[in-house]
């Protein structure tokens, strides 16, 4: 059982929904990013998505793109991202960490070396947005064999023909993207999300977590009420990009987490 599996088992036992937060590793700089990351569990975050900075983030809107650029400009790398996870693990051995990004940095490092290092650093799962199920032999299956969950995205355009293929080697949870398009581009709408979550859950026993387009505590509560939990990324990263203090960022995160946990 991974930390992700254990977290969902604990949440189910207590009748709670999950709150997942995304931050970009190294944004606005390595020290501040680590300070924010260390404060997320106390702010109510159940699972941390740690963004891996990349030069060509195709699925991301301007907010996440700029965060990645800020991190890269400060010298953030794959190795430093893993070092950040390792530093977090010195004081927290229970909160799951999901590394989210693109395949190129992993491919450049080499899959075998990356998986060994990621596991040693305390990474629990991967979301690699540009590796479709047809490429499962490339990273997904080796990751599962190394004890890491490989979390797949399902979208409004994932129809009933495609969905079984998407779910085939997914583990940990399913990440449902509530909108078509890039991150931060629109608001998630409960009337659209509810039926889609039900459709996915009819084909898998995995938790279904909804992200993209969740920006307020009220929306976090609404979406968590229709699924197994909510993910917030751009709204948090916007605060970091605007230069908010660590305390203010974590205070905002707590309002979002409280929203998700109130259903």
Q: What residues are labeled active site? A: 49, 60
**Burial class, 147, CB count within 10 angstroms (exposed 0-12 / middle 13-18 / buried 19+):** exposed
The answer for 44, left when phi > 0, alpha when psi is -120 to 50, beta otherwise, is left
Token code pair at residue 163: 């969905």
Query: What are the residue ranges of helices labelled H in 74-185?
Result: 78-89, 103-109, 111-121, 140-145, 163-167
Q: Please tell me what DSSP assigns to residue 243.
A: T
**Dihedral, CA atoms, 58, 143, 233, 21, nearest 10 degrees?**
180
Chain centre to alpha carbon of residue 214: 13
Dist. CA 187–CA 48, nearest whole Å = 21
Exposure b/e, 56-95, CB count within 10 A at least 16 = b? ebeebbebbbbbbbbbbebebbbebbbbbbeebbeeeeeb
Dist. CA 134–CA 165, nearest whole Å = 9
Dist. CA 23–CA 235, nearest whole Å = 10
Sheet holding 149-150, edge to edge: 149-150, 125-128, 97-101, 47-51, 18-24, 229-232, 208-211, 174-177, 153-154
């Amino acid at each position: 059982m991974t930390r992700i599996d254990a977290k969902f088992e604990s949440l189910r036992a207590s009748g709670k929904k999950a709150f997942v937060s995304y931050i970009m590793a190294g944004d606005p700089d390595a020290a501040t990013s680590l300070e924010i990351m260390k404060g997320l569990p106390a702010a109510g975050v159940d699972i941390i998505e740690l963004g891996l900075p990349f030069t060509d983030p195709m699925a991301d809107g301007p907010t996440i793109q700029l965060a990645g650029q800020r991190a890269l400009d400060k010298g953030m790398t794959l190795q430093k991202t893993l070092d950040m996870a390792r530093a977090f693990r010195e004081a927290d051995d229970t909160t799951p960490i999901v590394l989210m990004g693109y395949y190129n940095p992993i491919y450049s490092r080499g899959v075998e070396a990356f998986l060994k290092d990621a596991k040693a650093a305390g990474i629990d799962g991967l979301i690699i947005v540009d590796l479709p199920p047809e490429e499962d032999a490339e990273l997904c299956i080796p990751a599962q064999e190394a004890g890491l969950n490989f979390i797949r995205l399902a979208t409004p355009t994932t129809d009933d023909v495609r969905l079984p293929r998407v779910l085939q080697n997914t583990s940990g949870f399913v990440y449902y993207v509530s909108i078509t398009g890039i991150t931060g581009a629109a608001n998630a709408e409960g009337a659209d999300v509810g039926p889609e979550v039900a459709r996915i859950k009819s084909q898998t026993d995995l938790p279904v977590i909804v992200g993209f387009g969740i920006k307020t505590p009220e929306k976090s509560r609404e979406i968590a009420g229709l699924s197994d939990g909510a993910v917030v990324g751009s709204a948090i990263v916007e605060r970091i990009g605007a230069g908010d203090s660590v305390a203010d960022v974590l205070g905002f995160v707590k309002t979002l987490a409280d929203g998700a946990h109130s259903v």
